[in-house]
Structure 1
Amino acid sequence: MGHINIKLADLIFEKGKSKNKVCYHCEVQRTQLNNYCNNKVSRVDLALMARVCEYLDCDISAILEYVSDEEDLNAKETKESEAAEEEKKD
């Protein structure tokens, strides 16, 4: 079974916002925002996601992404082969 990847940290950076501003405008505690940024939530607060989408002027798909097991496995294999190539260079 695949999983949901939360891309909030990247989006905040791309939009040029600070976590402090997001916390203030979206009425969320810093700890909770950090949990979203670090993919450490098991239940997504849809009201919070709506506030974040409004503040960052984005669609929910810019924040949440479904990753299938196959995509996850392919990404892992790619990282491992890149690491092996780097070791060969050294």
Structure 2
Amino acid sequence: IVYELQKLGFYNVFTQAEFPLDKAKNVIYARIVRNISAVPFYQYNYQLIDQVNKPCYFLGGQFYCSQTPTDYYAINGFSEQILMSANS
């Protein structure tokens, strides 16, 4: 904070430990508050089932097969995890 104030043009900036208050002519008190907010990070886990090359797949304890291969992917074992990170 001291360095940031000095960059703004306040050249005689001291902490209370560096300059005793009884010797100061003008005193400005500043209270520093840190704002912490939680930021969610989402992580998705899944397995793609390639139905073009493998027309049969195992899902939910059963085998599923298609007579003709399809041109889309199915998802198996989908799970989501949310991690919280504290930013200030």
Q: TM-score range by the shorter chain?
A: under 0.3
Return the structure number with greater helix share: 1
Return the structure number with greater strand share: 2
Structure exhibiting the larger radius of gyration computed from Cα positions: 2
Q: TM-score normalized by structure 2?
A: 0.22
